[in-house]
Structure 1
Amino acid sequence: MSHRILIVEDDQFISDMVNESLTKEGFEVTAAFDGEEALEILNTQTYDIILLDLMLPKMDGIECLGIIRSKSMIPVLIMSAKDEDVDKALGLGLGADDYISKPFSMIELIARVKATLRREKHYMRSQSPEVEKENKNNIVKIGNLSVDMSGFSVTKFDKEINLTAKEFQILKLFISNPSQVYTKSQLYNSVWEDDYHGDENVINVHIRRLREKIEDDPSHPTYIKTLWGIGYKLGDV
């Protein structure tokens, strides 16, 4: 059974191009051209992933994402040409799983879609009763954080921290390799499971948002340290 994808994009040319490329890859694709239409479709049909533009008529993508998240945890990949809008969507904690900056190549978009679907499959397995015992025994304490490496959850002072899938993967990568310094290219390859195309803002936004959630003082981070000109590593906490 093929995966079902909903594209929410008001630009007819971009929508058709993405639709054609994903269909060739064997996906079942539906297109919506504004936020209201997307929500109407989601009321009657289910999908495995949503590709969501933020600059939409009738209802913008951020409002649409908020409504989607109030009803479902379906993976959402944001497509946007404006980094500040992407930053806003992530910062509001609405639960976007990933984003890709316009203009993008179809090869990169397809790779992102496939990687997101692989992560979702792994996440669903981690929530099954068969791995409940494994999850309980795979909790790592670091500083004031308690990280369930299998259960995809993080708490600080016994209060749960709501991380996106990407934020959790970044934190897990650092914890799993505490002495390793990651360049942005290595970080991207490991977390996004794709070749690095030099889009530093993708990494910068996720690192900043992760720090804002886990650090006592994000401007002076202790959990994720920056080695200027090199990359990032786990701090000595």
Structure 2
Amino acid sequence: MYKVLVIEDDAVIGDMVSMYLGEEGFHVVRYETGHAGLEAMSEFQPDIILLDLMLPDIDGLALCGQIRELSNIPILVVSMKNKVIERVNALTAGADDYLSKPFSMHEMSARVQALIRRSKHYHSSAVPSSIPAKPVEALSKLPKKPAQEMDESSSLISLDHHTRSIWVKGDLIETTYSEFEIMKCFIKYPGRVFSREDLLQTVRGIDSLVTDRAIDVHIANLRKKIEENPKEPKRIRTVWGVGYKYVQ
């Protein structure tokens, strides 16, 4: 039984979501504040988090970023905010999908299942995505990858498909699911120009909402992580009017 952590202060929406997902066979727990939800993560070990952005005690975007620093658990943002910039900000903070209120319970369930399905597929051969007992220490002591394990196709950047990790000059770089998928395409086909539509098809789950603008956000985030100077990228190049390409 998959576990869903709902962080939602609206009792009506929270109860409806919990009831619907419960009837769909999920184990659901709900908390009305961000701090309570964050504290529950370690013990509950959810397979996905449904996060409202308008919480009484903490900014939802800040909480989203904090969760992403601790874990790769899929995050589905549900919010009354429906402007494009709000979606972009949520994706930038680490969310994997965004659903505007009011929404169909059936669509919400489909998105939850799609994100869990994608997550389980990605981690089928990896160590389970759990919350570290001492997250601050864990994040400050990222391991170095031995030089002999680097991918022969790129001396500076390598991908570990089993753990879904990206290594840049031997340093482990944390990425979201979509960022890893985009980078996987780039590494596999260096020099090939990918249109935004190509990349959309790469990261879009059957039920997930991904836009052209989201692709630009993912590219910007990847550049910050792998480029020496993100403002003058040498690896991920923009092909004006078309899309992007990766240069080894």
- Aligned-pair identity in percent equals 39
Q: Which runs of 5+ in 2 are unaligned?
A: 128-147
- Counterpart secondary structure, 1:142: coil
Q: Of the candidates 198, 203, 206, which is equivalent to residue 194 of structure 1?
A: 206
Question: C-alpha root-mean-square deviation of aligned residues, in Å?
Answer: 3.5
- DSSP-derived class of the 2:194 partner: coil
Tell me what 1:100 maps to.
98
- For normalisation by structure 1, the TM-score amounts to 0.73
Distance (Å, rounded) in 2 between the aligned partners of 1:195 and 1:227 = 29
Aligned mates of 1:119, 1:106 — CA distance in 2: 20
2:233 corresponds to which of 204, 221, 227: 221
Q: Secondary structure at the match of 2:44?
A: coil
Structure 1: distance between partners of 2:209 and 2:65: 29
**Number of residue pairs matched by the alignment:** 225
Distance 1:200 1:139, change over 3 A: same
SS at match of 1:127: coil
Consecutive unaligned residues of structure 1, counting only runs of 5 or more, are 129-135
What is residue 203 of structure 1 aligned with on the other side? 215
**Structure 1's 87 and 18: CA in aligned 2 closer, same or farther, altered over 3 A?**
same
**Contact conserved, 1:19 with 1:29, CA < 8 A, in 2?**
yes
**Residue of structure 1 aligned with 2:165, choices 141, 153, 178:** 153
Higher relative contact order (CA 8 A, sep 6+): 2
TM-score w.r.t. the length of structure 2 is 0.70
SS in 1 for 2:49: strand
| Aligned equivalents of 2:222, 2:64: Cα separation in 1 | 20
> In the TM superposition, what whole-angstrom CA distance separates every residue of 1:153-192 from its partner, at most 9, and x where no partner exists?
2222222222223211210122224455433333223213
Retained in 1: the 8 A contact 2:92–2:217? no
Do the aligned partners of residues 44 and 215 (structure 1) sit closer, same or farther apart at CA in structure 2, a change above 3 Å counting? Answer: closer
2:14 corresponds to: 15
- Quote the Cα distance in structure 2 between the aligned partners of 1:116 and 1:211: 24
Equivalent of residue 156 in structure 2, options 144, 147, 162: 144
Q: Which residue of 1 aligns with 2:74?
A: 75
Whether the 8 Å contact between 2:200 and 2:212 is mirrored in structure 1 is no
Aligned residue identity for 1:31: R
Residue 246 of structure 2 aligns to which amino acid in structure 1?
A: G
Match of 1:35 in 2: 34
Q: Tell me the CA shift for residue 213 of structure 1.
A: 0.7
1:230 to 2:242 alignment = yes
